[in-house]
Amino acid sequence: MPESSLKYKPTKWIMTILKTIFITGTAGSGKSLLTSKLYDYYTQNSAFAAVLNLDPGVENLPYTCDVDVRDYVDIVSVMKKYDLGPNGALVMANDLIASKIDDIRSEVERVNPDYLLVDTPGQIELFAYRSSGRFIVENITSEEKTSIFLFDGSLITTPINFVSLALLATSIKLRLNLPTINVITKTDVIGEKLQDILKWSSNIRALENSIAQEADGETYTLTTNILRGLNLSGFAQGLIPISNVTGEGLVNLEGALSRILNLGEEVED
Ligand SMILES: Nc1nc2c(ncn2[C@@H]2O[C@H](COP(=O)(O)OP(=O)(O)OP(=O)(O)O)[C@@H](O)[C@H]2O)c(=O)[nH]1
Ligand SMILES: [Mg+2]
């Protein structure tokens, strides 16, 4: 039995119903570190939080897993058994995880937290674009589910990069079919660029002007057409800037989660 399943919720909690937060984003955007910060936040506020790690390939995590897919699928064994390279093995591992969903769900139910934080794999396409990812999202029994999509602040160096990341965020939202909070991470290392990014995210005219300064011809036409399409669905609206390192902005993210998961009520015991 995995050690994590030894953590049980005290009896007084048994009747409360789970709320699940999927933490998604591009590789290295800060998903695992944010998971640990949210875990600390809920725990410090007397809520019972637990973490489900869905990344079969990760070696070190900045938190202790309560439920861990690595207990079900060993990536090195998958590589050897099926004679696969690392990417092929991750694809196979993700499908194997989906086939273990009943066991994973039972383990979550045994832990029985108020908040389940789900740290997703670095390879976002594995989680969001293969049917197994959506299957996992649909098969975790939970009263409320939401997704956080992390824009990696250090990747948004130009307005075109910003639009292409917003396109990815929208595509992931479409695949997972979950209410999504958009977050920009690593604000501690991007300096004044943050002001530009926040302006772009709230003012499509300003963004189009910045795109015009960077690109012309086909690139300009493609980028602005994508942008106008995304704007119809309110892309990147309310983008929340955070730093997982300094903690800046986390309080705003916690408030946004509360509005979705608790209808605006603060976390309470
Ligand atoms: N400066 C800074 N570094 C950060 C921040 N968030 C994460 N990092 C660093 O970025 C690196 C990747 O962070 P992770 O939390 O592992 O990111 P991830 O999205 O889980 O990565 P994968 O699962 O491999 O895709 C680590 O070195 C973190 O310390 C942040 O807000 N600011
Ligand atoms: Mg990670």
Residue 30 CB–ligand 1 contact under 6 Å: yes
Homologous superfamily of 17-142: P-loop containing nucleotide triphosphate hydrolases (3.40.50.300)
Cα 130 to ligand 2 centre (Å)? 18
pLDDT of 211 over the 60 cut: yes
Q: How far is CA 85 from CA 54, 89, 98, 205, 222, in A?
A: 20, 6, 20, 45, 35
31 lines ligand 1 (CB under 6 A): yes
> Quick one: pLDDT at residue 31?
98
pLDDT at residue 144 in the model: 92
Amino acid at 106: S
pTM, rounded to two decimals:
0.90
* CA of 33, closest atom in ligand 1: 15
At 26-47, the pLDDT tens digits run: 999 999 999 999 999 999 998 9
Q: Which atom of ligand 1 is nearest to the CA of 244?
A: 31
pLDDT in tens, 150-172: 999 999 999 999 999 999 999 99
Handedness of CA 10, 32, 119, 152 (dihedral sign): positive
The residue type at 234: G
Contacts of 101 by beta carbon, 8 Å cutoff, 6+ apart: 135, 136, 139
**Greater model confidence, 221 or 267:** 221
State how far the Cα of 223 lies from the Cα of 243, in Å rounded to an integer: 28
What is the Cα–Cα distance from 14 to 117, expressed in whole angstroms? 18
52 forms beta bridges with: 67, 118
- Return d(Cα 87, Cα 126) in angstroms, integer: 9
The whole-number pLDDT of residue 16 equals 45
Residue spans of the domains in the chain: they are 17-142
- In contact, 144 and 86? CB cutoff 8 Å: no
